[in-house]
Structure 1
Amino acid sequence: MEERLKQLIQYIDEFDRQGPHKMNVLKIMLERGPHDWHAPVSITELARPYYDLVSSQHRLYALKNISEEFKAPFSEAKMKRHLKTLPLKYLSTTPTRVSNISPPFKLVDDIFCVREEFRIESEFVHERIVRAVEQKFEEYLEVFSER
Structure 2
Amino acid sequence: MSDAAYLHGRCLCGGIRYRAALPVFHASHCYCTMCQKQHGAAAGSYANVASAGLVIEHGAALITEYASSDDGRRDFCRVCGSTLFWRSTAAPDRVAITLGTMEPAYSGPVERELFVEHKPAWLPCRDQ
RCO higher in structure (CA 8 A, sep ≥6):
1
Regarding TM over 0.5, the answer is no
Q: If the length of structure 2 is used for normalisation, what is the TM-score?
A: 0.30
Select the structure that is richer in helix: 1
